[in-house]
A and B are shown apart, each in its own frame.
Chain A
Amino acid sequence: MSAHLDEGRLLALRDRDTDGEEARRHLASCAACTEALDTLRARGSAVEAALSSLDEQWDVEAARSRVRGRVAAASAAAARGRTVVGRRPRAALWSLSRAAGLLLVTAAAASALPGSPLRAWLGARFGGDERAATVPPPAVEGAPAAALAPEATGIRLSVPSGPLRVVLHDVAAGSEVRVRLVPGTEASVYAPAGSRFTSAAGRVEARVTPGEVRIELPTGVDPVSLEVGGRIYLRSTEAGLEVPGPVVTRTEDEILFRIPG
């Protein structure tokens, strides 16, 4: 080999990530490439030192305990026939939401009928906007009876025009709040059983018991905002969606927050 080694090949030699015997032979007889390799070695030491300056000490035992607890919780939930590891499969989650939505719409329609006992019940339990309705735990489409109804309840609000504010109180540290951006003008909030909801024009408030909260925010309403424990997690602005909350994951139509401890 007569041509000099390029930087990539020299780097592979430095990092011992090549078995290029030909390159080694060239190196043995080429002072320029040997010098270049020495330069790369010095550069590597400088890079290593710079990266090491960023390092911190970590509480490994606290992390071990948290991971062990979450794995145990996931295993227990799996034994009950539910999948909760990390994130639920999207299809299952949103079929659950769709089923809940159907029930909510049904409940809302029933509540609109004059003389409906549901209307009276809703009025007594949830003051405010009649466009909102709440339902008992939603069923999972096609699931056996044993897997029905995670302990959740929900509220749906029709919002013909903005603004829309969703305000959550009492969300426990470590809980996940999953926000789904949906087309249309209907907002919904699902939270564990025992949670309390109130609504007024353009506003939904929930005092939630510990567990996952799921929110559907309509993209047809502007502006929208989500406030958790007095802190803005999400709001629409002229520039787009601003998300200052503690995001765990984000896709085009879904944002997962985890409440900090």
Chain B
Amino acid sequence: MDFDATFDAMYPPLVRYCHRLTGDRDAAEDAAQEALVRLFARSVEGPAPAVRVWLFKTATHLIRDRYRVEENRRRLLQANPVTPGAPEGPERSLERSMERERARRALERLTDRDREMLLMRYEGFSYREIADVIDVAATSVGTLLARAERRFFEALGGSGEMA
């Protein structure tokens, strides 16, 4: 397995997923890097989609272990990390900060499983791949995901009613 090619393809989405999941930069980097170290050190081989599932599953389990204590997880989710980047006006900065806070609080209101499913879906995983990571039946993913997304959307302040 080519180290650089695999790293370039896998690390950015993996650390983004871990960060969305935890709300904590250090925890996200730790989990994503630990998963990649295990991948390379254990010489895990396979087609790219299978490797991706393996990495996300490993990182998800690392994060579950780390945040098994609920209070610890809550404390980290409530962290409000600083976003580096180009300077922006105070109004836009405030707006972005509020958007971020609202999204984080909405995620916090989901169960661990709902949060993991939702974030994996928005990383482009198929329902079957999500089922593999979350350990649910593939046929249940659509219903569970719909519920998770609806709850997240409602927590954001949107109406959950279908037309």
**Which A residues contact B (CB, under 8 angstroms)?**
6-12, 15, 17-18, 32, 35-36, 38-40, 43-44, 46-48, 50-51, 53-58, 60, 63-64, 66-68, 70-71, 74-75, 78, 85-86, 243, 246-251, 258, 260
Contact = CB atoms under 8 A, between A and B. Distances in A.
Contacts of B20: 51, 54-55
Interface string B51-84: 0000000000010011011001000000001011
Contacts of A35: 163
Given A8-B143, A56-B84, A70-B33, 11 more contacts: A7-B146, A15-B127, A48-B122, A55-B16, A58-B29, A60-B8, A67-B7, A85-B41, A85-B42, A243-B69, A250-B65
Interface residues of B, number: 62
A67 B33 contact: yes
Contacts, number: 142
Contacts of B149: 11, 43-44, 47
Nearest to B62: A249
B30 to A, nearest CB: 6
Interface in B102-155: 102-104, 106-107, 118-119, 121-122, 126-127, 142-147, 149-150, 152-153
Nearest to B127: A17
Given A15-B121, A38-B163, A54-B20, A9 B72 contact: no
Across the A-B interface, give the 5 residue pairs with the lowest CB-CB distance, nearest first: A8-B142, A8-B143, A85-B41, A35-B163, A53-B99
B142 A17 contact: yes
B121 to A, nearest CB: 7
B4 A86 contact: no
Contacts of B100: 53-54
Nearest to A4: B162
Contact of B96 (A10, A53, A250): A53
Contact of B12 (A32, A60, A75): A60
A58 B33 contact: no
Contact of A54 (B15, B37, B66, B104): B104
Contacts of A36: 162-163
B37 A86 contact: yes
Contact of A39 (B42, B96, B156, B163): B163
Contacts of A251: 65
Contacts of B11: 58, 60, 63-64, 67
